[in-house]
A = this chain, B = another copy of it.
Amino acid sequence: MKREDVENLTPVQLRRLIRKGEYVGPTFGLCKGYVQCNLVIVPKNIAYDFLLFTQRNAKACPVLEVSDVGSRKLKYLAEDIDIAKDIPEYSLYEHGILKGTYNDIEELWRDDFVSFLIGCSYSFEEDLIDAGIPMRHHEEDCVVPMYNTNIACEPAGIFHGNIVVSMRPIPYKKIPLAFSITNGMYRVHGGPIQIGNPGLIGINNLKDTVFGGGAVTIKDNEVPVFWECGVTSQAALLSSKPELVITHTAGYMLIADKKNAELK
């Protein structure tokens, strides 16, 4: 099925199509108003370290739910969900190296898997748009610009890495509004970590995006504003090279039954 066929479905309707392999595309812009989450699946023997990493770096890695060990169900974010089938594309990493992508991981599932659902800045973009704040990466039809910073995460067990940020150019008069809106959504990164001086956090060239983010236009009256990004958890997973991790593929996220408004 194509994107335009599924645009107006509810989360549960869309997850059913994904479960049957009938929709395998990216989720951006689908199920408007509903929470989309990053997925990280790790074996139980490193789940404590990862949970502690998210606790110590909660603004970058806001955990919305952790499954029970071995369970493919959730309780808070969605009913009627199969974590092994309801995400359109999964990426499997061994020792930090991508080994393959899958539309279904039932065959790979293990009884010791723990799933982490991590909030995403998509959740606050809707409110920013409603407030008349432009989202340049939407206008230019690319993935939000993301950058590595020189800010070290607080390490936890085997996990370490630097914070990854997303950037949106904001008209300078609207910065207080953008700050206020996102600050009120602390469960999806909260307010900005840096406004206007990227060099201070180790970003010397705004063209040097990472994780597939686009390099967007910044207009004369605009200032680059940076928020911590959930991709920080994936960066830590890659640099810490655990034996096995499965994540969603960037852009192919879990769509929850919760609305973004419920994260305020």
Instruction: List residues of A (43-98) whose CB comes within 8 Å of B's CBs.
Output: 47-48, 51-52, 55-56, 63, 66, 75-76
User: Would you call A186 an interface residue if the criterion is a C-beta within 8 Å of the partner chain's C-beta atoms?
Assistant: yes
Q: Return chain B residues, CB-CB under 8 Å to A76.
A: 154
Task: Report the bound CA distance from A63 to B58 in whole Å.
Answer: 11
Q: Return chain B residues, CB-CB under 8 Å to A75.
A: 154
A66: which of B47, B56, B66, B186 is its contact (CB, 8 Å)?
A: B56
Q: Return chain B residues, CB-CB under 8 Å to A186.
A: 186
Task: Report the bound CA distance from A210 to B47 in whole Å.
Answer: 35
Q: What is the 8 Å Cβ interface bit string for chain A, positions 175-191, against chain B (1 contact, 0 not)?
A: 00000000000100000
Known pairs A56-B66, A186-B186 / 12 extra A-B pairs, C-beta < 8 Å: A47-B48, A48-B48, A48-B51, A51-B51, A51-B52, A51-B55, A52-B66, A55-B55, A55-B63, A55-B66, A75-B154, A76-B154
A residues sitting closer than 8 Å to B (CB atoms) are: 47-48, 51-52, 55-56, 63, 66, 75-76, 154, 186
Q: Can you list 8 A-B contacts with CB-CB less than 8 angstroms, sorted by A residue number?
A: A48-B48, A51-B52, A51-B55, A52-B66, A55-B55, A55-B63, A75-B154, A186-B186
